[in-house]
Amino acid sequence: MRWGVAAGGAIGVALVPLVVLSAPTVVTAQTAEMEQGKRLYESQCGSCHGPLGNGGRGANLAQPRLRRASDDQALFNIIRRGIPGTEMPGSPLTPRQVSSIAAYVKTLGRVEPEDIPGDGRRGEAVFAALDCARCHTLGGRGGIVGPGLDDIGARRSAAHLREALLDPEASVPSGFLQLRVVTKDGRALTGFRVNEDAFSIQFRDLSGRLHSFWKYELDVLEQQWQRSPMGSYAARLTSEQTDDLVAYLVSLKGAQ
Ligand code: HEC
Ligand code: HEC
């Protein structure tokens, strides 16, 4: 729904050349493009990437170098087509609108980097002590109940990561669907969906075992959107440990 709402608005007004020359009028044109880019950014992107680009559900865009959008063309393509297999959607905007957003996104990179309190090295020890790897893979080791964390710091903002620890059900990644099933012979299982079609469903239980059922074998198939088996760590972490753990997660940027 978010898409296409603002797209129709005040656009058509500023048909702005991208390559600008140094004539005085161009300055206004450039400003108009930037304003359009800012408006579009706020309506189409801000909800995920944050009003200032610091990220949220989406990656932090307020940095000088973007991991996947390393040059102008890549940035344009990402905004146009999205990143398949992730929550980053493609958009129905015109190429010109996409260019204006791209120009605006580039200005976000000039802001000061986010100041993250906490000590990543101490956070690594907290991660080990709480056995987060029981459910999450990192560096090729660990469980598969939760999402892999190798590049979580590149995909999510500090604010989102903090929320994932303290209030996991407020920030469940789309695509993660918890299920409760009860089979006709009375077995009850909780897990998350791996695959589903009209007749069958495959899911992983919380120990990581894969199950496959025909739907007619099930008495109950309950979809628990926004539910998470990862309990809140609010009561188990001091605020200092939370800061340290967030700093550690932010440092996990994957292969650069
Ligand atoms: C529904 C949430 C959502 C919306 C809306 C959204 N994004 Fe994203 N975006 C993401 C996520 C999540 C990622 C990280 C994908 C990954 O790498 O796993 C991302 C990644 C990106 C990247 C790559 C960042 C990098 O580090 O290379 C750019 C650039 C980007 N988005 C720009 C935009 C722009 C501009 C808009 C608006 C036109 C937008 N996004 C709208 C969720 C969103
Ligand atoms: C019982 C299994 C389990 C344990 C233990 C666990 N997690 Fe999770 N975690 C999950 C699942 C499942 C999800 C996906 C659903 C959600 O967001 O809550 C998740 C989500 C996350 C996310 C958000 C990922 C994203 O893409 O937004 C982060 C970050 C995270 N966990 C970190 C941790 C850390 C750090 C610990 C240890 C303090 C931990 N988890 C312990 C199962 C677990």
Atom in ligand 2 nearest the alpha carbon of residue 160: 27
Which residues have C-beta within 8 Å of that of residue 133, sequence separation ≥ 6?
127, 141, 142, 143
> Rounded to whole angstroms, what are the CA distances from 84 to 23, 57, 97, 99, 136?
41, 16, 21, 20, 22
105 lines ligand 1 (CB under 6 A): yes
Backbone φ, ψ for residue 162 (5° rounding): -60, -45
Give the C-alpha separation, 232 to 212, whole Å: 29
Q: Where are the domains of the chain?
A: 6-108, 120-172+230-250, 178-224
CA-closest candidate to residue 227, choices 194, 191, 202: 191
102 lines ligand 1 (CB under 6 A): no
Burial of 221 (0-12, 13-18, 19+ CB in 10 A): middle
Instruction: Check if the beta carbon of residue 109 is closer than 8 Å to that of residue 59.
Output: no
End-to-end CA distance of the chain: 33
58 lines ligand 1 (CB under 6 A): yes
Class of domain 6-108 (CATH, top level): mainly alpha
- Residue 113 Cα to ligand 2 midpoint, Å, equals 26
Pocket of ligand 2 (CB under 6 A): 127, 130, 132, 134-136, 145-147, 152, 156, 161, 164-165, 168, 171-173, 176, 228-230, 233, 245, 249
- Fold match flag (6-108 vs 120-172+230-250): yes
What does the pLDDT look like over 1-28, one tens digit per residue?
Answer: 344 333 333 444 444 444 444 444 444 5
Give the C-alpha separation, 136 to 143, whole Å: 5
- Residue 40 Cα to ligand 2 midpoint, Å, equals 32
Using a CB cutoff of 8 Å and minimum separation of 24, what contacts does 29-37 make?
33/99, 33/100, 33/103, 34/100, 34/103, 34/104, 34/107, 36/10, 36/11, 36/97, 36/100, 37/100, 37/101, 37/102, 37/103, 37/104, 37/105
Choice from 86, 88, 99, 250 to test ligand 1 binding pocket (greatest atom count within 8 A of CB):
88
pTM of this prediction?
Answer: 0.69
Class of domain 120-172+230-250 (CATH, top level): mainly alpha
The region, left, alpha or beta by phi > 0 then psi within -120 to 50, assigned to residue 220 is: beta
Class of domain 178-224 (CATH, top level): mainly beta
In this prediction, the residues of the chain whose per-residue pLDDT falls under 50 are 1-27
Q: What pLDDT is stored for residue 24 in this prediction?
A: 44
